[in-house]
Amino acid sequence: MLNNYITYLNFLNEKLDKFFRQQKPYVFCKKGCSRCCRHAQFPYTSIEITYLLQGLIKLDKETLDIISSNVDRILEEEKTFQGDRFRYDCPFLINDACSVYEYRGIVCRTFGLPTQAPDGALLIPFCCYEGLNYSNVFDIDKNKVSEEKVRALNPEFEPYGYNISYEYLTNPDFERGFNFSFGERKPLIEWFKTKGNVE
């Protein structure tokens, strides 16, 4: 089943590579930028966790120890958390780099591109407001992409909201088409309560 999921990931990666190429004039992702790996919940399905664990077992002990202590710290912090949506920095983020990059989840692969709201509106990644993706064509005062700024770039492709929401990409149609099962879905840190620590 994991091989079929990997086939799906290859299919997805090909699409995402194309979308990122199309949106290149507006995308400022670079090595060392890790804002999208912080202060979030990171939804993961069972198959994504199984795949991620394949990457984990290849890591050296020192890296595993860091991840393990990150997981412990997050779980401790959660115990005293009072709100209704506990957020944390991803435990696999070490020195602003992903320690399991090839094995990362679906949500990690899509971040940085706009999606489309049900009403058709363009949903720009939050890092736009921090001077990153799409900030070169975004009008903060009007809270929308500026057609004028886009025109000035004379791009091949305009900013576009792709159908790449996590809900869509983990849709049962893909399970049927590629013959695997996503399984249960929950925030990344929740998996470490049931699967034990990473040691």
Burial class (CB in 10 A: 0-12, 13-18, 19+), 32: exposed
Shortest distance in whole angstroms from residue 49 CB to ligand SF4:
11
Instruction: Tell me which residue has tokens 């407001």.
Output: 129
Shortest distance in whole angstroms from residue 181 CB to ligand SF4:
21
Which sign, positive or negative, has the C-alpha torsion 18, 122, 90, 183? Answer: negative
Closer Cβ to ligand SF4, 124 or 150, answer by number? 124
Q: CA 161 → CA 62, 112, 156, 164, distances in Å?
A: 40, 11, 15, 8
Helix (H) or strand (E) holding 151: helix 147-153
Q: Which of residues 103-132 bind ligand SF4 (CB under 6 A)?
A: 104-105, 108, 111-112, 125, 127, 132
Q: Give the x-and-dash track for 36-75 against ligand SF4 (CB under 6 A).
A: xx----x---------------------------------
Contact 113, 162 (CB under 8 A): yes
12, 59, 64, 98: which one binds ligand SF4 (CB under 6 A): 98
Q: Is 23 in the site for ligand SF4 (CB under 6 A)?
A: no
16, 49, 67, 90: which one binds ligand SF4 (CB under 6 A): 90
Q: Is 159 in the site for ligand SF4 (CB under 6 A)?
A: no
Give the C-alpha separation, 127 to 10, whole Å: 26
67, 71, 100, 189: which one binds ligand SF4 (CB under 6 A): 100
From start to end of 58-174, where are the E strands? 93-94, 97-98, 115-116, 122-123, 138-139, 144-145
Closer Cβ to ligand SF4, 122 or 172, answer by number? 122
Give the footprint of ligand SF4 on this chain (CB under 6 A): 28-29, 33, 35-37, 42, 90, 92-93, 98, 100, 104-105, 108, 111-112, 125, 127, 132-133
